[in-house]
């Protein structure tokens, strides 16, 4: 009988200890989850520029249905604070710059203003923010369901992913190489209402610069905050992806095509005494390889022939 009681007592203690351990593990998990949800999100920062970037609005203005600002304004804030790209303005700033250049060309501005052709910085990449299509059968509370019928069945039809009812957002960022039109990166971001737990601890400071950047609506509404977090998720993935692949838009692309300004010859070597590969007619298009020796450029023609031409006999193709 005594042995039986001892066994019962031992089993009871083991159960109590197991329950205590389980309770402690659950408390730790909840504590960790709370810490994760209360941590203010961080915009990724780069130690060097990846290239120049233009941010362009998607064709479908889905944000107007939720009375939000253009997502391009939001992305420009992330890009500016991340220091990963040099932003070039292809919107209102460009329009204003063109007006200023027209004044300079008409002679209205002072001598020495130094405004003219050949000064505008080229964009290496174009970034387009859009929303992802997760549920084509969604009804009125899903923006994709409301706008999907207005689009065709091509690339523009891939929309949706922002639900006013469940307060979730699925967005897409597409990064394209301007010179080659190659899609360098495509990243999807996701966020939901419960991801905003960090705001209870004074996290509103994260949205502090949104008003100055023309994206105040992403700070003032709950669905706007969710969309902003989804874009931050996508942008963080995009930056990590691009940093790991280390693209160089200028080096990765061939030189701009040139045309012959007058008849000439394609030589096997950068020497007028070398063998002639073929005759070149005025207006013929050639493709520089990037190799140069003095006034000589190494080029390919449209038939795949390779050789050297005198650079003074060519001009950039129009």
The domain that holds 263 is classified in CATH as: 2.30.30.40
Domain presence at residue 28: no
Whether residue 98 is contained in a domain is answered as no
Local confidence pLDDT in tens for the 318 residues of the chain: 555 555 555 555 665 555 555 555 544 444 444 444 557 788 999 999 989 999 999 988 989 888 899 999 999 999 999 999 999 988 777 677 777 777 777 777 777 777 767 667 888 999 999 988 654 444 434 444 433 333 333 333 333 577 777 788 999 999 999 888 889 899 999 999 877 766 654 555 676 667 666 788 888 888 899 999 999 999 999 999 988 877 665 655 556 788 999 999 999 999 999 999 999 999 999 988 888 999 999 999 988 899 999 999 998 887
Beta bridge partners of 53: 87, 125
Q: What contacts 24+ positions apart, CB below 8 Å, involve 34-42?
A: 34/197, 37/194, 37/195, 37/197, 37/198, 38/197, 38/198, 38/200, 38/201, 39/198, 40/198, 40/201, 40/203, 40/205, 40/206, 41/198, 41/206, 41/229, 41/232
Q: Does 55 share its domain with 166?
A: yes
Instruction: For Cα atoms 212, 48, 96, give the angle at the middle one, nearest 5 degrees.
Output: 40
Per-residue pLDDT, 102:
76
Q: Which of 304, 293, 302 is nearest to 269 (CA)?
A: 293
Q: Is 276 found in the same domain as 241? A: no
Residue 153 placed within a domain: yes
**173 and 232 housed in the same domain:** yes
Residue 109 lies in a domain: no
**Which of 245, 266, 292 lies at the terminal end of a domain, its last residue?**
245
Report d(CA 160, CA 169) in Å as an integer: 9
What is the number of other CB atoms lying within 10 angstroms of the CB of residue 63? 24
Q: Is residue 170 part of a domain?
A: yes
Tell me: do 65 and 127 sit in the same domain: yes
What is the pLDDT at residue 211? 66
Whether residue 158 lies inside any domain: the answer is yes
Could you say which of 183, 210, 245 is where a domain stops?
245
Residues 150 and 64 in one domain: yes
Which CATH number belongs to the domain containing residue 173 in this structure?
3.30.160
Give me the pLDDT at residue 32, please.
Answer: 45
* Distance between first and last Cα of the chain: 103
The SS3 call for residue 180 is coil
271: containing domain: 258-316
Q: Is residue 27 part of a domain?
A: no
**Number of folded domains that form the chain:** 2
Quick check: is 163 in a domain?
yes
Shared domain check, 310 and 164:
no
265 and 241 share one domain? no
């Amino acid at each position: 009988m005594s042995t039986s009681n001892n066994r019962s007592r031992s089993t009871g203690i083991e159960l109590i200890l197991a329950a205590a351990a389980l309770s402690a593990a659950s408390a730790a998990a909840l504590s960790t989850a709370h810490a994760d949800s209360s941590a203010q999100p961080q915009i990724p920062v780069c130690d060097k520029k990846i290239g120049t970037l233009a941010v362009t609005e998607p064709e479908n203005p889905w944000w107007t249905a939720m009375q939000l600002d253009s997502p391009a304004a939001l992305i420009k804030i992330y890009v500016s604070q991340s220091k990963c790209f040099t932003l070039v303005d292809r919107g209102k700033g460009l329009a204003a710059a063109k007006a200023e250049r027209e004044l300079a060309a008409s002679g209205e501005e002072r001598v020495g203003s130094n405004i003219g052709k050949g000064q505008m910085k080229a964009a290496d990449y174009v970034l387009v923010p859009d929303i992802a299509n997760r549920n084509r059968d969604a009804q009125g509370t899903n923006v994709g369901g409301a706008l999907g019928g207005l689009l065709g069945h091509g690339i523009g039809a891939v929309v949706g992913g922002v639900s006013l009812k469940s307060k979730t957002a699925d967005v897409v960022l597409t990064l394209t190489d301007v010179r080659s039109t190659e899609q360098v990166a495509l990243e999807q971001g996701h966020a939901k209402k419960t991801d905003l737990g960090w705001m209870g601890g004074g996290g509103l400071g994260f949205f502090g610069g949104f008003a100055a950047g023309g994206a105040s609506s992403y700070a003032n509404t709950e669905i706007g905050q969710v969309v902003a977090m989804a874009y931050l998720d996508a942008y963080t993935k995009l930056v990590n992806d691009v940093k790991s692949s280390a693209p160089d838009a200028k080096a990765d692309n061939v030189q701009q095509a040139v045309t012959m300004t007058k008849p000439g010859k394609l030589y096997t070597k950068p020497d007028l005494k070398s063998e002639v590969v073929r005759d070149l007619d005025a207006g013929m298009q050639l493709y520089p390889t990037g190799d140069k020796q003095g006034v000589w450029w190494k080029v390919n023609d449209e038939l795949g022939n390779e050789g050297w031409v005198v650079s003074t006999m060519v001009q950039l193709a129009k």
